[in-house]
Amino acid sequence: MKFFIDTANLDQIREANEMGVLDGVTTNPSLMAKENIKGDEACRRHYLDICNIVDGDVSAEVIATDFEGMVREGEELAKLHKNIVVKLPCTAAGIRAVKYFAERGVRTNCTLVFSVGQALLAAKAGATYVSPFVGRLDDISEDGVELVAHIVRVYRTYGYKTQVLAASIRHTNHIIKCLDAGADVATCPLSAIKGLLKHPLTDIGLEKFLADHAKVNGL
């Protein structure tokens, strides 16, 4: 399973990249706003900064909600860098834009997916990635991981090539469950990625190794 980091924060992207396990980045308008990135020019520069840190796919989301606007914005984003993936919402116009870009060899991430039906449309239109939002479904007492598993089953049954990108991951256990569900990618906050490292027996074991080494060496 590939790991993307779900942030527009350059320090966090650098930190995850330095761990050596990062395969890409996802952003969205809320994450860009959190970093106070305003205006088209600043957004474009920021996407380029991200692409210069990580050698992997970087999802950049359109703001337009109409087909023509999505195409215009998506084409500009795709021109920025070879690793940019145009992120489009799962609406009628968004699905049409996914199809438009697929026919022209531009990679897309169909986002804000909350049902198998939406994921089916994204795959039929030729999306590179589909993003089911795990945490937001859990927030309303639905099972986000089960949706990931269901989409994976359907895609494998019918041979769709669209990769299932588990999004809205909130914690480490979501990552483990998405592994079991067969997700191709999980996009996670840095805290969840770092959480995978944590185990008290690792800390206790290392402390003992170092103590034994110090004792025998008279340190």
Residue ranges in contact with ligand E4P by CB under 6 A: 6, 26, 28, 111, 131, 133, 135-136, 167-168, 187
Q: Which is nearer to ligand E4P, 163 or 187 (CB)?
A: 187
Q: How far is the CB of 199 from ligand E4P (least distance, A)?
A: 25
Residues 6+ apart with CB under 8 A from 1: 178, 179, 183, 184, 185, 186
Q: Is 209 left (phi over 0), alpha (psi -120 to 50) or beta?
A: alpha
Q: Which is nearer to ligand E4P, 118 or 131 (CB)?
A: 131
Q: Which is nearer to ligand E4P, 11 or 218 (CB)?
A: 11
- If one counts every other C-beta atom within 10 angstroms of the C-beta of residue 15, the result is 15
Give the residue among 189, 210, 205, 176 at the shortest CA–CA distance from 1: 176
Q: Which three-class secondary structure state does DSSP give residue 16?
A: helix
Catalytic annotation, pick one of 82, 87, 177, 208: 87
Q: How far is the CB of 205 from ligand E4P (least distance, A)?
A: 34
Q: How far is the CB of 45 from ligand E4P (least distance, A)?
A: 20
Q: Which is nearer to ligand E4P, 139 or 212 (CB)?
A: 139
Q: Which is nearer to ligand E4P, 33 or 211 (CB)?
A: 33
Q: How far is the CB of 61 from ligand E4P (least distance, A)?
A: 8
177 is catalytic: no
Q: How far is the CB of 175 from ligand E4P (least distance, A)?
A: 12
Provide the 8-state DSSP code for 17.
H
Give the residue among 95, 98, 72, 96 at the shortest CA–CA distance from 85: 98
Q: Which three-class secondary structure state does DSSP give residue 139?
A: helix
Element (H, E) at 129: strand 129-132
Name the phi and psi angles at 211, rounded to 5.
-65, -45
Write out the catalytic residue numbers: 87
